[in-house]
Structure 1
C-alpha cells in the first residue's frame, strides 16, 4: 500500500504542477500576443491571443475536473500513514507496545481507522505495483518495501505486514531503538534538512526574479508616462511576467515549506537527543508517537500556514 500510494502521489503531484505551469504559460504567451497585436494593429495576432486565453480557460476546467492536487494530497497522506504505522509496529511504538496481545490485528484496525476518513473524500486504494522498491531509510538493512522475498507479507490476513517488519519487532529493545534512530529518525533529519535548503534557495530565486520584473514594469510605466519612451508599451507584459512568477512561487509554496521543513528538522533533532539519552523502555511507545507526529504531512501543512 505504501509503494502504490507513494507512486500515485508523485504522479499526481507532477500532474498538478504541470497543469499550473501550462495555465501560467498560456496566460503569459497570450499577453505577449496581445502586446504584439496592440503595437502592430494586427487582427490575426489579436485572434491568436484570444485563442490562447480560451485555451487557458479550457485547461482550468480540465484541471478542476481531474482534481490532481486533491488526489496527490490524499495519496501522500495514505502513504505516510502506512509508513508511520509500520515503523510503530516494528519498534513497539505508539499503540503497538510490548504488552499488546494482537499487534497484527491492531495494525489492521489502526490502518482502517486512518484510511476511513480518506475514503470519505474519494480516496481509493490503487493497485500495488510489483517490483517497485521505495525505501523508508536510505541504505537500511531493514528497508520495508523491497521486492526481495523477506520483505513480502507472510500472512494473507495481514497483507501490509512484511517478514522484515516481524523480524524487527522480535528483536530486543536496544536493537529496535538503534534501528529506529538510525533508519527512521536520522534518515528523516537528512530529508527535511535537504528540502528546507532547497526550498529556501528556490524561494530566494523566484522572489528576486519577480522583484526584478516588477521593477522593470514600474520603470517602463514611468518612462512611458513621462514621454521618454514611445512605441512599445512593455509595462503590461512585464507586470504579467511578474504575476506569473508570484503565482508559481505560491503554487510551489517555497517560502512556507522552507519554514515548515526547518522547524520539523529542529523538532526531530531535539527528539533524537531525547530518544538517545533518556527514554526507558516503559516510556518508549509514547516517545515514538511524539516523534512520528512530527513527520506527519498534516503537521508540516500546519506549520506551513505560519511560514507564508
Structure 2
C-alpha cells in the first residue's frame, strides 16, 4: 500500500455500500417530495388568484387547484407511508458506523490494537458489525453479503505505524476536514442567498399590497407572494443551512485540532487510543447532525 492509496468505498465491506445506497435514495426521495409539495402549494396560490370560466360556468383555475390539492394529498400520504427520511437518517447512521469501525480496524485503533492477532481482530470486527446490524432498523437496510474485513483493510492494518498514521491523517482526517470545510462554506452561502431572496419577496409584498389596496391591480399578488414567502421559509427550515454551516465549521475546527495531535504519535499503544478518540469525534459530529434532524428511527 502506497502513500497515495486510501480506503475507498469499494474497499469497505458490502454492508457500508448497502447502507449508503439506502441513505442516498432516502435523501433523494425526501428532498424531492418536500420540494414538490412546496411547488404545488405556490402553484395553487397563483391559480387561485385568477379566474377563467369555461363551459357552463366552470372556473378552470379553480378546477386545476382542486387537482393540485388532490395531488398534494396523495403525495403526503405516500411520504407518510414510505417515510424516505427514515431511510436517509438511519441508512446514513449505519453507513458511518460501519466506516468508522472499518477505519478503526484498518489503522489498529482501539479496540483493534496491533497487539491482537489477525484472527482475534477479525473476529472482534465481525462481532461489532453484527451488533450494528442488530441495532439497525430492519426496514431501512437489508444486508446482502456476509460480514467481514476486506483485503484493502487487512493490507493497511499490516503496514507499519508510520505508514498507517500518515495515510490516516491524509485520507481519513484530511478528507473529513476538507469535506466539513467545504460544506460549511456551501451552507453559509446558501443561507445568505435564501435570506436575500426572502427579503426581496417581503419587499415585493409591501409594494403588491399597496397596489392592491389602492385599486391599481385586481390580481391577488400579495397572496401569491405570501405563498412564495411561506414556501421559501419552509424550505429554509427543512434544509437548515444556518445550523448546518455552524455545525460543519465547528467540526472542521475540531478535526484540525485532532490532526495536529495525531501527527507526532510514534507509539502503537498511544496511537491505538488517540486514533480511536479521533473516530469517536467523527462519529460524534454525525450523531449531532442526526439529532438536529430529529431522527431516531422508530
Normalising by the smaller structure, the TM-score range is 0.7 to 0.9
Aligned-partner Cα distance in 2 for 1:92–1:295: 17
Aligned equivalent of 2:10: none
CA displacement at 1:103 relative to structure 2: 0.7
Residue 73 of structure 2, aligned match among 25, 48, 57 = 57
Aligned equivalent of 1:277: 264
Aligned equivalent of 2:240: 253
Q: Deviations over 1:47-86 (max 9, x none)?
A: 2112211211111111111111101111111111111111
Change (3 A) 1:42 1:94: farther
Q: Deviations over 1:204-263 (max 9, x none)?
A: 1112111211221133224433x2634122111001001111111222221111111111
Q: Deviations over 1:257-276 (max 9, x none)?
A: 11111111110000000001
Change (3 A) 1:34 1:242: same
Residue 229 of structure 1, aligned match among 201, 216, 221 = 216
Aligned equivalent of 1:3: 17
Q: Is residue 260–residue 304 contact of structure 1 (8 Å, CA) maintained in 2?
A: no
Aligned equivalent of 2:4: none
Q: CA RMSD in A?
A: 2.4
Residue 300 of structure 1, aligned match among 264, 277, 289 = 289
Aligned equivalent of 1:13: 27
Aligned equivalent of 2:128: 110
Aligned equivalent of 1:197: 185
Aligned-partner Cα distance in 1 for 2:153–2:225: 56
Aligned-partner Cα distance in 2 for 1:14–1:72: 8
Q: How does 1:1-308 map to 2 (within 5 A)?
A: 1-37=15-51, 43-101=59-117, 102-119=120-137, 122-127=139-144, 159-225=147-213, 227=214, 229-278=216-265, 280-296=267-283, 297-302=286-291
Change (3 A) 1:8 1:240: same
Q: Is residue 89–residue 290 contact of structure 2 (8 Å, CA) maintained in 1?
A: no
Aligned residues: 274
Aligned-partner Cα distance in 2 for 1:39–1:259: 52
Change (3 A) 1:246 1:39: farther
CA displacement at 1:42 relative to structure 2: 6.5
CA displacement at 1:279 relative to structure 2: 6.6
TM-score normalised by length of structure 2: 0.84
Q: After superposing the two structures, state which structure 1 stretch, 212-221 or 193-202, moved more.
A: 212-221
Change (3 A) 1:38 1:286: farther
If asked which structure has higher relative contact order (CA below 8 Å, sep 6+), I would say: 2
TM-score normalised by length of structure 1: 0.82
- Unaligned 5+ segments in structure 2 are 1-14
Change (3 A) 1:300 1:293: farther
Change (3 A) 1:161 1:97: same
